[in-house]
Amino acid sequence: MVEYTQADELLIEEKFNDLLQSCQRICKSEADWEIINKAFFMAKEAHKGIRRRSGEPYILHPIAVSKIVVDEVGLGVKSVVSALLHDVVEDTETSIEEIERLFGHKIATMVDGLTKMAGVFNADTSEQAEYFRKVLLTLSDDVRVILIKIADRLHNMRTLGSMPIDKQIKITSETIYLFAPLAYRLGLYAIKTELEDLSLKYRLPEEYNNIAQKLNATEVARHQFIQRFTSPIIEKLDANGIRYRIEEREKSIYSIWLKMQRKRLPFEEIYDLVAIRIIFTPGEQMPEKLQCWHIFSLITDIYEPKPDRLRDWVTTPKVNGYEALHTTVMGPDGLWAEVQIRSERMDEIAERGFAAHWKYKQAVLSNNEDEFDKWLKMIREALSGPTENAVEFLDNFKMTLYTTEIVAFTPKGESRRLPKGATALDFAYDIHSKIGDSAIGAKINYKLESIFTPISNGDQIQIVTSESARPVVEWLKHVVTAKAKQHINSYLKKSRENNIKHGIELFEAKLREQGVSPSARVFRKVLPAYECSKKEEFYSKVGAGIISLDNIGKILRSNSSNKVIKLWTLQLSNQFRFLGTGKKRRKYVIKGPDELSGGEGSNLQPNFEIATCCNPIPGDEVVGYLEPGQHTIIVHKSTCNVLTKLASQHGENITSVKWSNYKTMSYLSELHVKGIDRVDMLMNIAQIITVEFDVNIRELHILSHDGIFECTISMYVANTEAVNQIISKLQRIKGIETVTRTTSPEV
């Protein structure tokens, strides 16, 4: 332990005084100031001499988290104290009992919820998922724990640059998979946006910097456009005596990148880079909602609105409490611009989410259950349900973080909110588990439909039930809500053990017919072929008769479509620890790029396999995932969605890998081409690929309609450089609008 220097002490004092400055608006008594100071000195002493990886004193981290809690989330004194102490129990000898003795039961409970899981976990469970489960269970008692944890994650993301690449992958995966959607659901829009941007910055720094540079280059032009756009609006609002302020909102880098990927557009064709917010002070003569529509009317008197871009979250607020009126109008120079209209109250809820939502609810002494309360109640019910698998729990929880929702109605007119894509079966379980378990059909708008029918906004639904109906495994494919999945799984688990036993017998009998023994290599072929994520799911479906094994021989004989013609190798680019198989759980450590040595003097060479979900090729940024209990490292693109999920749940199995030596090889890659159709267009495309670049086309699909064509080309290439050269050449063909390599749409 190295003592802090005088410069360190001055920096700590400066940062703590800055926090105290922020606390002026929340401290109502001398006791409030005393408890914050007591927490600070306890945390400082507990973390004495400890430094973060960046080299700064560790105590600066809890101070920074506390400041985020006050300034950016809007919480109070108990939350600041809990944030200051949030790492004390985990990292020092201090106990929860001592925290309770000094600061009371409530703060001790919050600190306990923020303390990471310790001890040994089952081999088949995820330490991260177990940790998330514990934190999320505090929702049953206090939502502030989640809000502090989000603040903790935000500061860790802001200081992620000092971490090694494998830790960056783990942390950014957790962030984009769970923390950003959770921040959104809790109404923390600014924090959600920053978490997404920072995830992109560390996962795809080149693309992040490219978009940032283009935003900077167009900043002056955007500002001039905003001035021209808002000038007549300001004149109109002033003439009507409305008290307001106008803010400019720039589209986030992550949102721009995601739109470019999903719609296959270049930066220059993203038209909604900027929006303006009109935040008004409600007048005494007109209610808030009516004033929103009044301002909307004044704006649409000036600019023509886009009919399909009106978003009315004033009449029906989002589940997280967000209220606003959004419209997109045609502004000067033929450019579309988004306008967001909201009151000061709506704006505070939009910026600070749950904390502001709760403050305003208490201010009007409302005991009515609003949509946020209903969501929180649903989460608490889901968390109280039994679950054996922490990863399954985490997946189910994530389903509650949907951002796009629909409203459907019961026969008596009661409204039910469900995620977009929900089916009549989801609706049935939303009403009651017994109705869901016995559902056989649904009358949607008085017309009889299947229980698997997706429902639309405004549908009125009556569920048809039967006493003889029972949930089956197939139902899991037709529901999207956590509640429905939980109840179906709960029923199925009662009979699953028999199905698994029967499935093992059937599968092993089929393998014996093929002269094959069960092995990890067999399951790496079989599980994806039958769309199963693990062996238990596969066995259960086989035993239940859902999966037929008639084509098992063909699957076992099949080869990967990505064939390497000449040898390439991958090497680990950092030290990586993992557990070997067997009862003793030996530790293995990568000693160098090519050698894997075991703790008992044995030498083991890790196997590398290319992930079929994203098909990386030499030149792509790649990341390794060590399969639990195996010595095979699966290589994914750094942007792969599957990798993001794996890293968020099994971050301890993630390692950095890089392409080492590779020579001439052939590897499958896919391009998407779009443009103006003409007679010899296909010939021009094929000539460039096959003649100029001597590349073999494996498959080509082309569709032409209304003078526009879209083409998907699968071809064997050597590396990403070859792909980029082909893309560049194709883009020069007259009439071609876009050429993009098919890639995963999310970080």
User: What are 597's strand-pairing partners?
Assistant: 589, 603
Q: Is 91 a catalytic residue?
A: yes
CB proximity list for 284: less than 8 A, separation 6 or greater: none
Q: Which fold has domain 421-470?
A: Ubiquitin-like (UB roll) (3.10.20)
Under 8 Å between Cβ of 348 and 356: yes
Cα–Cα distances in Å, from 273 out to 13, 218, 249, 488, 688?
A: 41, 10, 9, 43, 35
The CA-based angle 55-57-59, given to 5 degrees, is 145
Ranges of CATH 1.10.3210.10 domains, the chain: 6-188
What DSSP element (H or E) covers 659? Answer: strand 654-662
What pLDDT, on a 0 to 100 scale, did the predictor assign at position 394?
59
Q: What is the pLDDT of residue 229?
A: 93
* 237 close to 302: Cβ distance less than 8 angstroms: no
- Contact between 710 and 702 under an 8 Å Cβ cutoff? The reply is yes
Hey, what CATH class is 217-352 in? alpha beta
Residues 421-432: tens digit of each pLDDT: 899 999 999 899
Catalytic residue among 8, 56, 91, 395: 91
Q: Which residues of the chain have pLDDT under 70?
A: 1-2, 116-141, 354-404, 495, 558-606, 629-630, 660-666, 743-747
Residue ranges, comma separated, of all CATH 3.30.460.10 domains in the chain are 217-352
- According to the model, what pLDDT value does residue 383 have? 53
Q: What is the pLDDT of residue 168?
A: 87
- In this prediction, residue 322 carries a pLDDT of 82
pTM flag (> 0.75): no
| 3-state secondary structure string across 26-47 | CCCCHHHHHHHHHHHHHHHHHC
Options 13, 34, 45, 90, the catalytic residue: 90
Question: Distance from CA of residue 447 to its chain's centroid?
Answer: 37
The CATH superfamily of 6-188 is Hypothetical protein af1432 (1.10.3210.10)
Give catalytic status of residue 284 as yes or no: no
CATH class assigned to 667-741: alpha beta
Q: Which residues contact 7 (CB under 8 A, 6 or more apart)?
A: none
Which segments of the chain belong to CATH 3.10.20.30?
421-470
Q: Report how far residue 110's alpha carbon sits from residue 85's, in angstroms, rounded to the nearest whole number.
A: 10
